[in-house]
Amino acid sequence: MALDRIELEGDGIAPGGAETASLLRSHGKRTDLLVHEHEPFNAETGPVALGEAPLTSVDAFYVRGHGAVPDVDARVWHLHVGGLVQRPLALSMTTLQEAFDNREITATLQCAGNRRKGLMAIREIPGEAPWGPGATGTATWTGVRLSEVLRLAGPLDEAAHVGFEGGDLCPEVTPVERFGGSIPLSKALRPEVLLAWGMNGEPLKPVHGAPLRVVVPGYIGARSVKWLERIELMSSPWPGYFQNVAYRLLPEDGTPGPGVGMPLGLVALNSDVLSPTDGATVPAGEVEVRGYAFAGGERYVARVDVSVDGAGWSQAELLDDLGPWAWRQWRTTVALTPGEHEIEVRAWDSSAATQPEGEAALWNPKGYVNNARPRVRVHARAG
């Protein structure tokens, strides 16, 4: 179905009609998500929902898919582990849950196309959905460490990458192929990478990858493959379309093709203002500003600064520390006189890097990695 262009309106998201509301409910989602596409189902979280709590509720968590949600029978499903291993494995869900120690990790996932809409305002990006800043969310994931499964399989000396293949068939590729991708073996062996069957204390929903998905903290969401069916250890990165063509950062004049551009992996430092929302009307005077900041890889958020109308920067308060793989929400109070104002934010990470000032220099043909400083415009009402 064609893209459902629903625009932000005030402090929320305008209704998308009865059909869209029914679709959202069928996937266990609240009806204030912004739906970009019905099939495959793609929807982003609004700023109000992102700001409600440190963890993003399951019914508000964004969804990015490239094919229909597969119907997987967990009773007969097995995870196959092969390739450059000493012992190929076929593991049932019961075996995964009972033979390995169960683990939890709180981690933020963020789509590589998060905030693409801002780059589209610079130049057109044909064929891509206009994702705003809601293709991100933070959850506590439950599962087993990928490293423990890999050690049971026994990687051979020549293994350098770990590939993941999901159960979803993706018609955007000719011939049709399953979604897949890989990460370096060195990352796969780290304790934070999970094979997850739970999300915020609940079993995974089908739309989020049930019965099993990968969670790769610090990497773009595309590496956290859903509906996981196969793990393959390889000497080189995953050769499929979604790693070798789709999720790559192209030069400004580049055309997608096998091996063109840079492969996307670690998430770039990013942030957003969650309240007040862009275009909101607020009472003049002291106004609380809240948002989040997230540093991918092994970096962490060190500081967040806020500016009003370009008149200097003030440091925001960092809120709950959810651990090294999750965002930091923040807040501050600003004084607004009656009239129009622009609130700007810049985050800093532990490497002393900060966000680029503007979006124009970040434009690329796929609309990836927009981590420019976010800005919201608000009207302060007198009296």
Query: Are 286 and 366 found together in one domain?
Result: yes
Distance, in Å, from the CA atom of 102 to the CA atom of 100, rounded to the nearest integer, reads 6
What's the confidence (pLDDT) of residue 16? 62
Query: Are 116 and 213 found together in one domain?
Result: yes
Q: Would you give the DSSP letter of residue 208?
A: G
Q: Which amino acid is at 308?
A: V
Query: How many CB atoms lie under 10 A from the CB of residue 221?
Result: 23
Structural domain ending residue among the three candidates 263, 286, 301: 263
Query: How many CB atoms lie under 10 A from the CB of residue 19?
Result: 12
Query: Are 48 and 155 found together in one domain?
Result: no
Domain of 359, CATH number, reads 2.60.40.650
Which residue carries 């196309």 as its tokens?
113
Does residue 70 belong to any structural domain of this protein?
no
Query: Are 86 and 53 found together in one domain?
Result: no
Q: What is the DSSP string of 1-65?
A: -------EETTEE----HHHHHHHHHTT--TTSEEEETTTTEEE--HHHHTSSSSPPGGG--B--
Query: Are 143 and 202 found together in one domain?
Result: yes
Distance, in Å, from the CA atom of 109 to the CA atom of 294, rounded to the nearest integer, reads 10
Per-residue buried b or exposed e for 347-367, using 16+ beta carbons within 10 Å of the residue's own CB: bbbeeeebbbeebeebbbbbb
Domain of 156, CATH number, reads 3.90.420.10
Distance, in Å, from the CA atom of 156 to the CA atom of 150, rounded to the nearest integer, reads 11
SS (H, E, C) 258-272: CCCCEECCECCCEEE
Does residue 331 belong to any structural domain of this protein?
yes
Query: Are 251 and 124 found together in one domain?
Result: yes
Does residue 66 belong to any structural domain of this protein?
no
What's the confidence (pLDDT) of residue 9? 32
Phi/psi-derived region of residue 51, left when phi > 0, alpha when psi is between -120 and 50, beta in every other case: alpha
Query: Are 83 and 127 found together in one domain?
Result: yes
Q: Which amino acid is at 241?
A: Y
Beta bridge partners of 99: none
Distance, in Å, from the CA atom of 169 to the CA atom of 67, rounded to the nearest integer, reads 5
Task: Give the residue numbers spanning the domain of 55.
Answer: 8-60
What's the confidence (pLDDT) of residue 17? 85
Query: Are 230 and 116 found together in one domain?
Result: yes
Token duo for residue 312:
């200097």
Please state the length of the chain: 383
Q: What are the average pLDDT values for consecutive 10-residue runs of the chain, which has 383 residues?
A: 33 60 95 96 96 97 97 96 98 97 98 98 96 98 98 98 97 95 98 98 98 98 98 97 97 94 97 97 97 96 98 97 97 97 98 97 97 98 87
The total number of structural domains in the chain stands at: 3
Does residue 339 belong to any structural domain of this protein?
yes
Query: Are 48 and 86 found together in one domain?
Result: no
Query: Are 120 and 252 found together in one domain?
Result: yes
Please check whether residue 180 is in contact with residue 225, taking contact to mean a CB–CB distance below 8 angstroms.
Answer: yes
Cα angle: 121, vertex 367, 171; to 5 degrees: 120
User: β-pairing, 202-203 with 194-199?
Assistant: antiparallel
Beta bridge partners of 376: 343
Distance of CA 299 to the CA centre of its chain: 17
Does residue 123 belong to any structural domain of this protein?
yes
Does residue 106 belong to any structural domain of this protein?
yes
What's the confidence (pLDDT) of residue 383? 73
Cα angle: 10, vertex 315, 139; to 5 degrees: 60
What's the confidence (pLDDT) of residue 7? 33
Does residue 69 belong to any structural domain of this protein?
no
Maximum CA extent, the chain = 73
Alpha-carbon radius of gyration of the chain = 21
Distance, in Å, from the CA atom of 360 to the CA atom of 123, rounded to the nearest integer, reads 9
Does residue 1 belong to any structural domain of this protein?
no
Query: Are 32 and 127 found together in one domain?
Result: no
Beta bridge partners of 378: 341
Query: Are 222 and 96 found together in one domain?
Result: yes
Please check whether residue 330 is in contact with residue 292, taking contact to mean a CB–CB distance below 8 angstroms.
Answer: yes
Structural domain ending residue among the three candidates 224, 245, 263: 263
